């Protein structure tokens, strides 16, 4: 029997406590027992989102929360500015288009972060822009955008700053209130260490003003409904009860750990992964704006990138991610997000070495593992 390891940027591995929490017998959601859970997760989410605003829980995957951000704040014919530097930035554009929003696009080269000065320039030239849609970690390229800098330029305007933090929240720093993020959306199956199925959305006072004026059609994702229900510690529809109970457990683990420690650990895992692939003679795809969430690596010349990922997974049980869209076959991505420790990285790198060797890439056996171990040890041996 093959043993499986998951090193993908969603879903991510589950801590055993979370697995067990969601396996408990179901309880009814309109009860004091479940209300106690909702209260607890409400507080825990504020901690992880670093906000005083309420964070609403949607029974949807991440893009449900993205769609909620669009339909609740805008009206048909409105203009929005979208930062596109990969597949997930493109998703904002697609959602805007589906609802008749004019999407002005900043086409950032894949592998680079957006410059806040570019956003500033576009906002000055387009005073009608009602919202700026951005991505914390562009999972398709491994890039982390500088949301703090973007917050500084958007904060002085009437536009809302909306951040897709589906990947990155609970892994790297995102100070929603301090940095002036109006709407932050996330999902359960990445840094929050849960199965897929929950979406999250925080809404600032500035954003609520737009929610009250927005005219796009909405029903299931209507935040007015969510706010009204939340005022009496309730949800407008039947929530994914078992996932919310599991969320209480993961938030408890995260609080016990502390955000500072969580961010430091992600930094270490990312440093080790980057050092390891470089030691194998490979190149980072996004060397200047690499996130501590997922590392995208260029597939070396002469190696079939799709086969590399497939062999690691199907022959050895180590699942990493391939490239998406225009990067298909050209990069592979190793995630180090959520419940990932030193030895997960060692397993991933060791398997990468094994398959690269089989495919004819030349390097010294153990060089990647050694480089990772040196990072973990805090210096060269």
| The only residue of 44, 63, 111, 142 in contact with ligand PLP, by rule CB under 6 A | 63
When the beta carbons of 88 and 332 are compared against ligand PLP, the nearer one is 88
Distant-in-sequence, close-in-space partners of 167: CB < 8 Å, separation ≥ 6? 9, 10, 88, 136, 137, 139, 190, 191, 293, 294, 337
Confirm or reject binding of residue 319 to ligand PLP (CB under 6 A): no
| The only residue of 5, 44, 58, 62 in contact with ligand PLP, by rule CB under 6 A | 62
Distant-in-sequence, close-in-space partners of 192: CB < 8 Å, separation ≥ 6? 48, 169, 170, 186, 247, 250, 251, 254, 338
CB of 60 to ligand PLP, least distance (A): 8
| The only residue of 22, 135, 145, 202 in contact with ligand PLP, by rule CB under 6 A | 135
Stretch in the footprint of ligand PLP (CB under 6 A) among 14-22, 60-68, 145-153, 249-257 = 60-68
Confirm or reject binding of residue 179 to ligand PLP (CB under 6 A): no
Confirm or reject binding of residue 72 to ligand PLP (CB under 6 A): no
| The only residue of 12, 53, 134, 139 in contact with ligand PLP, by rule CB under 6 A | 139
Which residue in the shown chain puts its C-beta closest to ligand PLP? 62
Q: Is 54 exposed, middle or buried (0-12, 13-18, 19+ CB in 10 A)?
A: middle
Beta strand 143-144 with 55-58 is: unpaired
The three-state secondary structure class of 94 is helix
State the DSSP string of 111-137: TSPPPHHHHHHHHHH-TTEEEEEEESE
Confirm or reject binding of residue 166 to ligand PLP (CB under 6 A): yes
- Going from the C-alpha of 154 to that of each of 162, 254, 280, the distances in angstroms are 10, 30, 41
Confirm if 296 and 274 have CB atoms less than 8 A apart: no
Distant-in-sequence, close-in-space partners of 287: CB < 8 Å, separation ≥ 6? none
When the beta carbons of 7 and 279 are compared against ligand PLP, the nearer one is 7
CB of 140 to ligand PLP, least distance (A): 8
Spatial distance between the Cα atoms of 59 and 57, rounded to a whole number of angstroms: 7
Per CB under 6 A, contacts with ligand PLP among 189-218 are 196
When the beta carbons of 164 and 344 are compared against ligand PLP, the nearer one is 164
CB of 269 to ligand PLP, least distance (A): 17
CB of 168 to ligand PLP, least distance (A): 7
| The only residue of 5, 56, 88, 92 in contact with ligand PLP, by rule CB under 6 A | 88
Count of alpha carbons within 13 angstroms of residue 95, beta-carbon side: 27
Stretch in the footprint of ligand PLP (CB under 6 A) among 57-65, 142-150, 296-304, 363-371 = 57-65
Confirm if 347 and 338 have CB atoms less than 8 A apart: no
For binding to ligand PLP (CB under 6 A), which residues are involved? 9-10, 61-63, 88, 135, 137, 139, 164, 166-167, 187, 196
């Amino acid at each position: 029997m093959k043993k499986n390891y998951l090193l993908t940027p969603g879903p991510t591995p589950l801590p055993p406590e979370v697995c067990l929490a969601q396996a408990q017998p179901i309880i009814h959601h309109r009860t004091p027992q479940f209300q106690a859970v909702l209260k607890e997760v409400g507080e825990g989410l504020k901690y992880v989102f670093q906000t005083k605003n309420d964070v609403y829980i949607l029974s949807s995957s991440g893009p449900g929360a993205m769609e909620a951000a669009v339909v609740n704040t805008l009206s048909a014919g409105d203009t929005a500015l979208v930062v596109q530097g990969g597949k997930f930035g493109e998703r904002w554009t697609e959602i805007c288009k589906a609802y008749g929003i004019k999407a002005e696009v900043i086409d950032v080269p894949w592998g680079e972060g957006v410059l806040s000065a570019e956003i500033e320039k576009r906002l000055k030239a387009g005073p009608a822009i009602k919202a700026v849609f951005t991505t914390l970690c562009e999972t398709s390229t491994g890039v982390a955008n500088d949301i703090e800098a973007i917050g500084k330029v958007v904060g002085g305007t009437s536009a809302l700053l909306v951040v897709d933090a589906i990947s990155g929240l609970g892994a790297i720093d995102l100070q929603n209130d301090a940095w002036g993020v109006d709407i932050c959306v996330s999902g359960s199956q990445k840094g929050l260490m849960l199965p897929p199925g929950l979406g999250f959305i925080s809404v600032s006072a500035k954003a609520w003003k737009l929610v009250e004026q927005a005219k796009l059609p909405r029903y299931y994702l209507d935040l007015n409904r969510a706010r009204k229900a939340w005022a009496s510690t309730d949800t407008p529809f039947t929530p994914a009860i078992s996932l919310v109970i599991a969320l209480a457990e993961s938030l408890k683990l995260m609080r016990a750990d502390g955000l500072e420690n969580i961010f430091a650990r992600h930094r270490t895992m990312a440093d080790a992964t980057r050092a390891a692939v470089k030691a194998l003679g490979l190149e980072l795809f996004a060397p200047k704006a690499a996130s501590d969430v997922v590392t995208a690596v260029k597939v070396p010349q002469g190696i079939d990138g799709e086969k590399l990922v497939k062999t690691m997974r199907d022959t050895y049980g180590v699942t990493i991610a391939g490239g998406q869209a225009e990067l298909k076959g050209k990069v592979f991505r190793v995630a180090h997000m959520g419940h990932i420790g030193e030895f997960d990285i060692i397993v991933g790198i060791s398997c990468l070495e094994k398959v690269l060797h089989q495919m004819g890439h030349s390097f010294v056996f153990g060089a990647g593992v050694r480089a990772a171990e040196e990072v973990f040890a805090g210096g060269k041996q």
